[in-house]
Copies of this chain bind each other. A is one copy, B any other.
Amino acid sequence: MTGFKQVSTQKGLLVIPGPIEIADDVLYANAHPSMAHTSPEFIPVFGDCIRMIREVLYTKDAQPFLISGSGTLGWDQVASNLVEPGENALVLNTGYFGDSFADCLEVYGAKVDSLRAKVGGVVPMDEIESALKSKRYKIVTVTHVDTSTAVLSDIKSIAAVVKKASPETLIILDGVCSVASELIKMDEWGLDVIMTASQKGLGTPPGLSVLVASNRAIQTFENRIAPVSSYYASWKKWLPIMKAYEQGTAAYFATPPVNLIYAFNASLMTITKSSEVSLEERFKLHEEASQRVKSAAVELGLKQVPDPENAANGMTALYFPEGYTASDILPRLSAKGVIVAGGLHKDIKDRYFRIGHMGISVVQQSRGDIDKVIDSLRDSLKEAQADKWQ
């Protein structure tokens, strides 16, 4: 009941697509003795987080917002600060999270059109192009990796299409399941908002909404006519706070999650300043780990949910073999100390499972996490087959 001591002994290897395994120094930082959110010790820790998240996204001067909340809060920020009631939004839907983003946009008054990919696929470029030419869209949203399907959208190419077909449309990337595990070049590709959360590629416990807005997005916000339609997610409230902390002074709108900011700082230090694994190498290691898991799946006769050419590098979604269900496989994996996630997409919910391979499970290769996942999956399938043949 008290949590820590009792439960930690029951823990296995956490390889769901977030939260992920957390490095010890990040966990220690999350246990930092209580500090005032306005203290001279804390202010630069917050400021450094703002500076470092820019590095992760290859942006020179876009504006980060670090706010206590889950990744979901990023949708509210986009919907209530950038879209005015009655304006059009185009949602590229590659799974569950596209539905939710559309739902959020509608709550704040946007008129949403969704282009739906088939399960496992992406939205064809010509469909995106003709939609953008048919109507004036204030924003287009792309789920970089839809955690429900493991589909990776080619945001670089999509952004190029948007810029050609409708240059004034803001490009919004839902990077909850991609930031720090998939390469994103914010400035070079011309992205306007990247929103994510702390608990996936960024290797920090959950509880921080992380959003970075381009200068163009901030200008759009500043030029809006209708008042911002949320309070807690309002950039009008948060922009002066983020600017103050970056400049080295405290300002108050709502108490920041001080301990989690220390933890985020520790993880960002490793991601951006490590002498062992550079940011470029980090992305390469994610690709390699992903290839290993996906190759093993092929060997084991398991079919991926996403078309292989659109598969994420930070996670893998696999159909159960014909005739098998979650209860045949997942408890066996769990018994071997490997915690994966079940299905989430409503059309195929009971037919597949999901493995996350992000952060230290990928980058700290000496941990052997990927081997353990592959070996345990192989053994679990064998056991399940033996059980059927009895």
Contact = CB atoms under 8 A, between A and B. Distances in A.
Interface in A1-36: 1-4, 7-8, 10-11, 14, 16, 18-22, 25, 27-36
Given A21-B34, A231-B108, A232-B232, A258 B28 contact: no
B25 A4 contact: yes
A255 interface: yes
A22 B1 contact: no
A93 B3 CA distance: 39
Nearest to A199: B255
A37 B205 CA distance: 11
A170 to B, nearest CB: 19
B45 A29 contact: no
Contact of A68 (B35, B48, B207, B227): B207
Interface stretch (A180-188, A260-268, A285-293, A382-390): A260-268
A366 to B, nearest CB: 18
B72 A253 contact: yes
Interface stretch (A73-81, A161-169, A318-326, A368-376): A73-81
Which residue, A36, A38, A45, A232, has most C-beta atoms of chain B within 10 A? A232
A166 to B, nearest CB: 25
Interface string A59-88: 000000000111111011001000000000
A103 B205 CA distance: 32
Contact of A4 (B7, B28, B37, B207): B28
Nearest to A273: B1
Interface string A208-241: 0000000000000000000111111110000000
A20 B252 CA distance: 17
Contact of A11 (B28, B33, B72): B33
14 contacts: A3-B262, A14-B34, A19-B34, A20-B34, A36-B339, A36-B341, A38-B341, A71-B254, A72-B254, A75-B232, A76-B230, A76-B232, A107-B228, A252-B344
Interface string A98-114: 00000110011000000
Contact of A207 (B197, B199, B257): B257
Given A265-B2, A265-B3, A33 B41 contact: no
**What copy number does this chain have within its complex?**
2
A134 interface: no
Nearest to A42: B7
A7 B19 contact: no
Interface of A: 1-4, 7-8, 10-11, 14, 16, 18-22, 25, 27-39, 41-42, 44-45, 48, 68-73, 75-76, 79, 103-104, 107-108, 197, 199, 205-207, 227-234, 252-260, 262-263, 265-266, 269, 339, 341, 344
Contacts of A344: 252
Nearest to A230: B230
A205 B257 contact: yes
A14 B30 contact: no
B107 A68 contact: no
B16 A229 contact: no
Contact of A258 (B44, B69, B205, B265): B205
